[in-house]
């Protein structure tokens, strides 16, 4: 799939003349949200990180209170949302998760449709009225600089599956990067790439955070992980570098306002703010995950000029089937650490 940057920047520029109207609309939402219960936000980041995001939000909208509930893993978001809607008719006000789990909630009619463009959200951010792109998990190649030179480190996926990395590479236990690559190269080609990767006997990790730590410690020379989970050891001084490969698989993470939300106005306001450059930068500074549609984020700048690969939300079922199939192939390598 093509990168979104040119379209996104163009859309942002095109809405500038009516920014005052949008500001008025957001201020009207803030006024309507005032005095209602705190917005309940279901999201996966540690609450101490989201506290920083909400501090930035409340500097602009001090009258709108938000309560963050951490739900680790998109499946927990979908399961809890469904259970709560069936049991009591409402769930969290603002829901943030992967395209597949948000699509499950959308398919059940549990997300409210909103004209986001009227609230200043660029059209490229909203693939449908129920979902807005607010951040992303972007795959990278990372390497230990004491064991791998910059010139030797992979630049393409062909470089990743080079036999020289046999018994030297680490990976998340899930083969989701290869499933996302299938969106551009096709499922058969992506499967062939995965099979070549498996022959390298990669060390598997239950999360990309310990993977990055293992690369920093020199337990593995090179890894395929996430941009945001590689940042902590780099910032701590570990001997790690990373780069975006050609092509860049990623997972856009979406937010949606739930049906029957107890503070729908506050949820819409927070969601629209997250889709601004200000909100995207605040979220990235707190969590390390930036919105690739916002040119102001370091994430967007990191992958600028690269071709990206991702299944659109309406093909979440197809992506889910590929993930399940590819994961079983990768499991042949052995148990994860």
Q: Where are the domains of the chain?
A: 5-136+251-306, 137-249+312-331
Backbone angles phi, psi at 151, to 5 degrees: -70, -35
- % residues pLDDT > 70 (the chain): 93
Averaged over 90-112, what is the pLDDT? 96
82 SS3 class:
helix
Q: Does domain 137-249+312-331 have CATH number 3.40.190.10?
A: yes
Q: Give the model confidence (pLDDT) of 255-312 as tens digits.
A: 999 999 999 999 999 999 999 999 999 999 999 999 999 999 999 999 999 999 999 9
Domains 5-136+251-306 and 137-249+312-331 agree in fold: yes
> In the prediction, which pLDDT does 20 show?
56
Place of tokens 């197809």: 318
Mean pLDDT, the chain, whole residue set? 93
CATH numeric code, 5-136+251-306: 3.40.190.10
- % residues pLDDT > 90 (the chain): 89
> In the prediction, which pLDDT does 1 show?
44
- The pTM of the full predicted model, rounded to 2 decimals, is 0.90
Is the pLDDT confidence value at 249 over 90? yes
Q: Which residues, including other chains, have CB under 8 Å from residue 169's CB and lie 6 or more apart? A: 160, 197, 200, 202, 203, 220, 221, 222, 223, 224
> Which tokens in the block code for residue 291?
């919105």
How far is residue 53's CA from residue 51's CA, in Å, rounded to a whole number? Answer: 5
């Amino acid at each position: 799939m093509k990168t979104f940057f040119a379209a996104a920047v163009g859309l942002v520029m095109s809405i500038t003349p009516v920014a005052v109207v949008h500001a008025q609309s957001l201020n009207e939402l803030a006024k309507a949200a005032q005095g209602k219960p705190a917005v309940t936000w279901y999201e996966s980041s540690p609450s101490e990180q989201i506290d920083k995001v909400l501090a930035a939000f409340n500097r602009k909208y001090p009258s709108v209170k938000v309560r963050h509930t951490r739900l680790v893993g998109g499946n927990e978001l979908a399961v809890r949302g469904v259970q709560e809607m069936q049991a009591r008719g409402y769930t969290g006000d603002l829901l943030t998760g992967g395209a597949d789990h948000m699509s499950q909630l959308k398919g059940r009619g549990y997300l409210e449709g909103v004209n986001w463009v009227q609230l200043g959200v660029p059209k490229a951010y909203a693939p449908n009225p129920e979902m807005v792109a607010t951040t992303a998990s972007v795959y990278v190649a990372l390497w230990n600089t004491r064991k791998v030179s910059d010139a030797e480190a992979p630049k393409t996926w062909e470089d990743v599956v080079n036999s020289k990395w046999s018994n030297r590479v680490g990976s998340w236990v899930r083969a989701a990067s290869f499933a996302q690559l299938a969106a551009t190269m096709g499922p058969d080609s992506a499967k062939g790439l995965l099979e070549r990767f498996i022959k390298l006997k990669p060390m598997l990790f239950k999360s990309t955070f310990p993977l990055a730590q293992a690369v920093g410690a020199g337990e593995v020379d090179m890894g395929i992980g996430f941009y945001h989970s590689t940042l902590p050891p780099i910032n701590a001084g570990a001997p790690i570098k990373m780069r975006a490969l050609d092509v860049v698989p990623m997972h856009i993470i979406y937010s949606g306002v739930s049906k029957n939300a107890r503070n729908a106005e506050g949820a819409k306001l927070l969601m629209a703010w997250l889709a601004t450059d200000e909100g995207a930068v605040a979220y990235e500074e707190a969590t390390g995950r930036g919105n690739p549609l916002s040119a102001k984020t370091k994430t967007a700048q990191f992958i600028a000029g690269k071709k990206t690969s991702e299944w659109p939300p309406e093909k979440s079922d197809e992506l889910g089937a590929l993930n399940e199939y590819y994961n079983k192939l990768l499991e042949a390598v052995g148990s994860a650490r």
